[in-house]
Amino acid sequence: GEDVEQSLFLSVREGDSSVINCTYTDSSSTYLYWYKQEPGAGLQLLTYIFSNMDMKQDQRLTVLLNKKDKHLSLRIADTQTGDSAIYFCAESGGSQGNLIFGKGTKLSVKP
């Protein structure tokens, strides 16, 4: 079935790199996404990667895709307190044409 798994919590120190991991099951997904949700807010699209790519870099964000293991990661360089939020991994290609989301990883950045 369709499923996206993420660890629930990650804590890092300001200035360190954060790596948030995700595994997915649908190998036919065309795109894989990372969204950020701050308290009381909606989902902000951070970045996405096409399924035929291995890596995508966008300023402080690096997305790595391992298609063989169906593993996606988001690396945030020089993590700041403003990066504290919940990060959702999502895959396209749900059976109803929808996005399938993980439960979200809560990133806490300590000063």
Partner 1 sequence: KAGVTQTPRYLIKTRGQQVTLSCSPISGHRSVSWYQQTPGQGLQFLFEYFSETQRNKGNFPGRFSGRQFSNSRSEMNVSTLELGDSALYLCASGALGTDTQYFGPGTRLTVL
The site for partner 1 (CB under 8 A) is made up of 30-31, 33, 35, 40-45, 48, 88, 92-94, 96-99, 101-104
Q: Give the bridge partners for 6, in sequence order.
A: 22
Report in angstroms how near the CB of residue 103 gets to partner 1 at its nearest: 5
Output 79 or 107, the one with its CB closest to partner 1: 107
- Return phi, psi of residue 81, to 5°: -60, -30
Output 41 or 77, the one with its CB closest to partner 1: 41
Report in angstroms how near the CB of residue 68 gets to partner 1 at its nearest: 22
- CA 108/CA 84 separation, integer angstroms: 5
> Is residue 92 within 8 Å of residue 4, measured between CB atoms?
no
Report in angstroms how near the CB of residue 2 gets to partner 1 at its nearest: 10
53: its two tokens: 């790519």
- Return phi, psi of residue 102, to 5°: -75, 175
Output 59 or 96, the one with its CB closest to partner 1: 96
